[in-house]
């Protein structure tokens, strides 16, 4: 049985704004043959202020589809059309205190119905550019189409890369077989073969993702050892950590950055600020704690703390900061601060 | 969400998913957790007593299936293990045969395995079904050849209850020199069987579908059928399924088979009468609803009704609130995005396939419960139709009225 939040149940058992608005002047009709949901959204828009005065829904779909429709109408009533168009499917899911990953498409349908209704009001034709495939990664709700497209667009060749780019496979790892099958298929289209050993996964898993250090041979060995996993006390000098899929920086950019200290710190702050909404969407957050040379220490909070993917997220943050600064830095969890000091 | 056990135990009409363990079965198995803890393979009295109990259980299963010999009964962990063992054994024992015949409506225990075997280079023929879920035996006959390692066809469909002509199909396979396996987890205990008079080489059954616990199954293996074990190791089950016997559950399954045999006529008369009443009353009260599968040829306990223009999970959630447990072929109840492969195979339109609801009864279902469900279903359907864009007033909206743009 699905683990629906109490809010989802409330909106399913007692839906708000069910039924069509009699004098609607904006109608959106969307559906998905594959998942068998369909939604008809009727709005009454005040032509002078372009404010949504009333909203009604009719939904053919499961419990969460009905709850998402109900939530959508509650959210948008009283909004201007422009405001309403800013409502994302995540907003709908958040309003319902979350949806199971497999059910996120129900909230997508709500957003699409809204776009369709606004287009209808404006005399435009709305077309759906959203293609949905079978759910592959259930931990992070990543579907087959997204994985395929990401592999093609970024020329990926390993499960680790797919995880890095899409999150798929970063949780329980049960979908790795499925991801390998997609890789095999997509690579075959390009006349390539999927090699399970290819890609950056040469170093032990924990070390690679926990730090995601760009190659920096000048770093003292001891520092690296402290931040490798606690359960992997290395006896010999650790193997060179594989590079995280590092941004492609030109040779000149790799040399000393030209920013002043203050500008550099501000830039790092800005980058982290720009990432935070993404994490907050997943009910997590990140905070800048300190900067020591090339080491940037952050604290993962909320859902990010203890998340199996925290390390991958760190890698992603690092990649962004490297891009924005034009220099190679490491992003480390704040816990590593004392040990590397 | 479920009402508490004290106030309302609920009405359980999902017996094709799993069944209540019969009280007599629980009683029979309990000593094998405590004083009868021995290993059946041991030389001492502790083992001997368990060994004897397993022997009795094997004979109880043998009698229900009408097997010629008790050594044809192999205890496994579940129906899925039995299915995998049968199919993989046939491939291993006949490496020159690279084809499999099955149907499009099999349980995932067989379908997923077959799809996986296709990746390994085996050719799988999936027999199609018509709008009532029936097979085309001419298509089947044409596919039988010396290239086929095994035919695997379910005896009864878990979603619709539709019965396949298993005995005739097994004869046809034998005539063509092809091994025949049937997944009979839904049929055993509801359909009388006399395997010794059939041409069935292998049959899977699952304990929890007939009031035994979960975690115990059987593979029937006709004597003389070439066999390769899935699990090798100890000499349990005559070396055909290694691993220390699950003695408590084996004893339980034996008892459950004995009870099933005693009740098989009641299944076919009393349970069928309750099912028919439920179905008739619901169809009379709910417009735009119909039975899926082959109503004239199906399990006595199963009714699968499509309620058009509404979705199955929503139906189940509202029924559950009333304490009624059923099941659905809707995409949303399975976690996949696709509606039931069985409904799609029969060509049921998607606005109906998503609203299919399966009621599966057992010999513990009472008339009072059926009356409550008959009263509960029509308002639930009406409530959801009121929300549906495909429904208008008290009838289906015309096609022109609602035409969403589809992804």
Asked whether residue B289 is domain-assigned, the answer is yes
pLDDT of residue A335: 74
Q: Determine which of A238-252, B67-81, B132-146, B321-335 has the lowest per-residue pLDDT on average.
A: A238-252
- A59:B387 CB<8 A: yes
Asked if residue B292 and residue B222 are part of one domain, the reply reads: no
Across the interface, which of A29, A127, A138 has its CB nearest the CB of B403?
A29
The alpha-carbon gap from A184 to the nearest alpha carbon of chain B, in Å, equals: 12
Is residue B326 within 8 A of residue B355, CB to CB? The reply is no
Is residue B285 within 8 A of residue B236, CB to CB? The reply is no
Asked if residue B100 and residue B54 are part of one domain, the reply reads: yes
From the list A173, A160, A170, the residue with the least C-alpha distance to A202 is A160
Q: Rounded to whole angstroms, how far apart are CA atoms A257 and A263?
A: 11
C-alpha torsion B208→B210→B212→B215, nearest 10:
-30
**Which candidate in A12, A61, A65, A141 is best for mutational testing of the B interface (most B CBs within 10 A)?**
A61
- A30:B339 CB<8 A: no
DSSP secondary-structure letter at A131?
Answer: -
CATH number at residue B99: 3.40.640.10
Asked if residue B172 and residue B35 are part of one domain, the reply reads: yes
**What DSSP letter does each residue of A77-113 carry, written as one string?**
TT-BHHHHHT--HHHHHHHTT---GGGHHHHHHHHHH
- Residues of chain A in contact with residue B357, where contact means CB-CB under 8 angstroms, are none
From the list A133, A153, A154, A156, the residue with the least C-alpha distance to A145 is A133
For residue B301, give both structure tokens: 């306990």
pLDDT of residue B139: 97
Alpha-carbon radius of gyration of chain A: 24
Asked if residue B245 and residue B301 are part of one domain, the reply reads: no
Look at residue B183 and tell me whether its pLDDT is greater than 80. Answer: yes
Asked whether residue B340 is domain-assigned, the answer is yes
Across the interface, which of A29, A35, A126 has its CB nearest the CB of B337?
A35
B133 backbone φψ class: left, alpha, beta (φ>0; ψ -120 to 50)? left
Look at residue B406 and tell me whether its pLDDT is greater than 70. Answer: no
Q: Rounded to whole angstroms, how far apart are CA atoms A301 and B365?
A: 52
Q: Rounded to whole angstroms, how far apart are CA atoms A306 and A302?
A: 9
pLDDT of residue A102: 75
From the list B273, B232, B252, the residue with the least C-alpha distance to B370 is B273
Q: Structure pTM?
A: 0.78
Q: Rounded to whole angstroms, how far apart are CA atoms A65 and A191?
A: 41
**Class level of CATH domain A6-121:** alpha beta
- B314:A62 CB<8 A: yes
Asked if residue B180 and residue B282 are part of one domain, the reply reads: no
Asked if residue B138 and residue B75 are part of one domain, the reply reads: yes
Q: Rounded to whole angstroms, how far apart are CA atoms B116 and B21?
A: 33
- Residues of chain A in contact with residue B339, where contact means CB-CB under 8 angstroms, are 36
Task: Count other Cβ atoms within 10 Å, centred on residue B349.
Answer: 10
Domain ranges of chain A: 6-121, 135-189, 246-341
Looking at CATH, the fold of the domain delimited by A135-189 is given as Arc Repressor Mutant, subunit A (1.10.10)
- A39:B404 CB<8 A: yes
The alpha-carbon gap from B334 to the nearest alpha carbon of chain A, in Å, equals: 9
Handedness of CA A178, A183, A189, A192 (dihedral sign): negative
Is residue A19 within 8 A of residue A108, CB to CB? The reply is no
Tell me the residue length of chain B.
407
Q: Rounded to whole angstroms, how far apart are CA atoms B58 and B71?
A: 8
Asked whether residue B402 is domain-assigned, the answer is no
Terminal-residue alpha carbon distance, chain B: 34
Asked if residue B93 and residue B231 are part of one domain, the reply reads: yes
User: 278-337 in B: which are within 8 Å (CB) of A?
Assistant: 309-314, 317-318, 321, 330-333, 335-337
Of A227 and B80, the structure prediction assigns the larger pLDDT to: B80
From the list A107, A10, A171, A100, the residue with the least C-alpha distance to B335 is A100
User: ipTM value of the model?
Assistant: 0.84
Asked whether residue B310 is domain-assigned, the answer is yes
Which residues, 6+ apart, have CB-to-CB distance to B319 below 8 Å? B325, B326, B376, B377, B380
CATH number at residue B326: 3.90.1150.10
Asked if residue B106 and residue B71 are part of one domain, the reply reads: yes
* Closest CA in chain B for residue A39: B389
Query: pLDDT tens digit string along B277-312?
Result: 999 999 999 999 999 999 999 999 999 999 999 999
Asked if residue B246 and residue B179 are part of one domain, the reply reads: yes
For residue B315, give both structure tokens: 């139906």
**Which candidate in B326, B387, B392, B399 is best for mutational testing of the A interface (most A CBs within 10 A)?**
B387
Q: Rounded to whole angstroms, how far apart are CA atoms A24 and A44?
A: 5
Q: Rounded to whole angstroms, how far apart are CA atoms A54 and A81?
A: 12
A173 backbone φψ class: left, alpha, beta (φ>0; ψ -120 to 50)? left
Asked if residue B121 and residue B228 are part of one domain, the reply reads: yes
- A36:B407 CB<8 A: no
Across the interface, which of A60, A64, A127 has its CB nearest the CB of B405?
A127
Which residues form the domain of B329? 11-17+264-392
Asked whether residue B212 is domain-assigned, the answer is yes
B6 sits in which H/E element: none
Q: Rounded to whole angstroms, how far apart are CA atoms B380 and B314?
A: 9
- B405:A135 CB<8 A: no
Q: Give, in order, the Cα–Cα distances in Å from B274 to each of A54, B266, B303, B381.
A: 48, 11, 10, 21
Asked if residue B220 and residue B170 are part of one domain, the reply reads: yes
Asked if residue B106 and residue B172 are part of one domain, the reply reads: yes
Is residue A167 within 8 A of residue A198, CB to CB? The reply is no
Strand partners, A135: A143
Across the interface, which of B314, B321, B351 has its CB nearest the CB of A66?
B314
For residue A172, give both structure tokens: 């329980």
B166 touches A: beta carbon within 8 Å: no
Is residue B147 within 8 A of residue B179, CB to CB? The reply is no
Across the interface, which of A33, A34, A60 has its CB nearest the CB of B389?
A60
SS3 A207: helix
Which residue reads 């997508």 in tokens?
A: A108
Q: Rounded to whole angstroms, how far apart are CA atoms B159 and B162?
A: 8
What average pLDDT does range B187-215 have in this prediction?
Answer: 98
Across the interface, which of A58, A102, A112 has its CB nearest the CB of B389?
A58
What is the interface size between A and B, counted as CB pairs within 8 Å? 111
Asked whether residue B210 is domain-assigned, the answer is yes
pLDDT of residue A105: 78
For residue A331, give both structure tokens: 């992003």
What average pLDDT does range B368-394 have in this prediction?
Answer: 93
| β-strands B99-103, B148-152 pairing | parallel
Among candidate residues B235, B260, B285, the one where a domain is terminated: B260
Looking at CATH, the fold of the domain delimited by A246-341 is given as GMP Synthetase; Chain A, domain 3 (3.30.300)
Task: Count other Cβ atoms within 10 Å, centred on residue B91.
Answer: 18
Q: How many domains does chain B have?
A: 2
Q: pLDDT truncated to tens, each residue of chain A (341 aa)?
A: 778 999 999 999 999 999 999 999 999 998 765 556 889 999 999 999 999 999 999 999 889 999 999 999 999 999 999 999 999 888 999 999 998 877 877 888 888 899 999 999 999 888 766 666 788 888 888 889 989 989 998 899 999 999 888 888 888 889 999 999 999 999 999 899 998 864 444 444 433 333 333 333 333 333 333 333 334 433 344 344 444 444 444 444 444 456 788 888 888 888 888 888 877 777 778 888 888 888 888 888 776 666 656 666 777 888 888 888 878 888 888 777 765 44
Q: Rounded to whole angstroms, how far apart are CA atoms B178 and B98?
A: 12
Cα–Cα–Cα angle for B7, B8, B12, nearest 5°? 165
pLDDT of residue B296: 96
- Residues of chain A in contact with residue B333, where contact means CB-CB under 8 angstroms, are 62
Q: Give, in order, the Cα–Cα distances in Å from A280 to each of A89, A90, A285, A301, B59.
A: 14, 11, 5, 10, 62
**Which candidate in B317, B325, B397 is best for mutational testing of the A interface (most A CBs within 10 A)?**
B317
Among candidate residues B231, B260, B289, the one where a domain is terminated: B260
Q: Give, in order, the Cα–Cα distances in Å from B306 to each of B282, B352, B374.
A: 11, 6, 15
From the list B210, B157, B120, B70, the residue with the least C-alpha distance to B358 is B157
pLDDT of residue A308: 59
* Closest CA in chain B for residue A109: B407
Among candidate residues B260, B295, B323, the one where a domain is terminated: B260
Asked whether residue B234 is domain-assigned, the answer is yes
* Closest CA in chain B for residue A35: B337
Query: pLDDT tens digit string along B321-347?
Result: 999 999 997 766 655 556 789 999 999
Phi, psi of A160, deg, nearest 5: -60, -40
């Amino acid at each position: 049985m699905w683990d629906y939040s109490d809010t989802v149940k409330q909106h399913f058992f007692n839906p708000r704004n069910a039924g069509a608005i009699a004098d609607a002047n904006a109608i959106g009709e969307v559906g998905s043959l594959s998942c068998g949901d369909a939604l008809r959204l009727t709005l009454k828009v005040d032509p002078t202020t372009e404010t949504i005065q009333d909203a009604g829904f009719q939904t053919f779909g499961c419990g969460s589809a009905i709850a998402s429709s109900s939530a959508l109408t509650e959210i948008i009533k009283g909004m201007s059309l422009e405001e309403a168009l800013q409502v994302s499917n995540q907003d709908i899911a958040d309003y319902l205190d979350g949806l199971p990953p497999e059910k996120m498409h129900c909230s997508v349908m709500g957003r699409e119905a809204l776009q369709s209704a606004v287009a209808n009001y404006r005399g435009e034709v709305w077309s759906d550019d959203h293609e949905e495939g079978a759910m592959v990664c259930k931990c992070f709700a990543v579907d087959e189409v997204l994985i395929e497209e990401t592999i093609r667009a970024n020329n990926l060749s390993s499960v680790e890369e797919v995880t890095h780019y899409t999150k798929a496979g970063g949780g329980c790892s049960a979908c790795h077989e499925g991801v390998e099958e997609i890789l095999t298929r997509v690579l075959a289209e390009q006349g390539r073969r999927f090699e399970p050993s290819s890609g950056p996964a040469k170093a032990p898993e924990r070390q690679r993702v926990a730090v995601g250090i760009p190659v920096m041979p000048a770093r003292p060995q001891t520092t690296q050892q402290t931040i490798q996993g606690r359960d992997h006390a290395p006896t010999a000098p650790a193997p060179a950590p594989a590079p995280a899929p590092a941004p492609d920086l030109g040779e000149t950019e790799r040399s000393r950055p030209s920013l002043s200290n203050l500008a550099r710190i501000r830039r790092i702050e800005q980058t982290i600020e720009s990432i935070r909404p993404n994490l907050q969407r997943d009910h997590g957050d990140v905070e800048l704690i300190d900067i020591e040379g090339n080491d940037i220490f952050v604290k993962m909070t909320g859902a990010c703390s203890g998340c199996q993917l925290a390390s991958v997220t760190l890698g992603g943050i690092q990649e962004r900061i490297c891009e924005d600064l034009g220099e190679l830095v490491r992003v480390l969890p704040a816990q590593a601060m004392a040990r590397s000091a | 969400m479920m009402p508490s056990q004290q106030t309302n135990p609920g009405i359980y009409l999902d017996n094709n998913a799993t069944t209540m363990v019969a009280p007599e079965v629980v009683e029979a198995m309990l000593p094998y957790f405590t004083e009868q803890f021995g290993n059946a393979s041991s030389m001492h009295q502790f083992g001997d007593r368990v060994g004897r109990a397993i022997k009795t259980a094997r004979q109880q299963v043998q009698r229900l299936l009408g097997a010629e010999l008790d050594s044809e009964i192999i205890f496994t962990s579940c129906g899925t293990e039995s299915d995998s063992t049968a199919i993989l054994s046939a491939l291993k024992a006949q490496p020159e045969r690279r084809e499999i015949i099955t149907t499009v409506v099999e349980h995932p225990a067989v379908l997923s395995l077959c799809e996986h075997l296709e990746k390994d280079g085996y050719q799988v023929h999936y027999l199609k079904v018509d709008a009532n879920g029936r097979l085309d035996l001419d298509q089947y006959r044409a596919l039988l050849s010396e290239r086929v390692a095994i035919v695997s066809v379910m005896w009864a469909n878990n979603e619709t209850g539709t019965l396949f002509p298993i005995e005739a199909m097994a004869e046809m396979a034998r005539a063509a020199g092809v091994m025949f396996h049937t997944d009979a987890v839904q049929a055993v205990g509801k359909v009388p069987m006399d395997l010794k008079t059939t041409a069935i080489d292998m049959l899977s059954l699952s304990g929890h579908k007939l009031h035994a616990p979960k975690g115990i199954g059987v593979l029937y293996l006709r004597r003389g059928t070439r066999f390769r074990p899935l699990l090798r190791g100890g000499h349990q089950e005559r070396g055909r399924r290694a691993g220390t016997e699950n003695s408590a559950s084996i004893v339980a399954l034996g008892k459950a088979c004995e009870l099933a045999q005693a009740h098989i006529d009641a299944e076919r008369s009393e349970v069928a009468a309750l099912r028919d009443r439920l179905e008739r009353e619901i169809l009379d009260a709910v417009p735009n609803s119909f039975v899926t599968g082959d109503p004239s040829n199906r399990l006595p306990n199963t009714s699968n009704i499509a309620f058009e223009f509404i979705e199955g999970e929503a139906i189940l959630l509202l029924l559950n609130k009333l304490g009624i447990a059923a099941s659905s072929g809707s995409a949303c109840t399975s976690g996949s995005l696709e509606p039931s492969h069985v409904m799609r195979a029969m060509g049921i339109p998607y606005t109906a396939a998503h609203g299919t609801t399966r009621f599966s009864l057992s010999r513990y279902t009472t008339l009072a419960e059926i009356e409550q469900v008959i009263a509960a279903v029509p308002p639930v359907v009406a409530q959801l139709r009121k929300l549906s864009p495909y429904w208008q007033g008290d009838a289906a909206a015309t096609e022109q009225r609602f035409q969403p743009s589809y992804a």
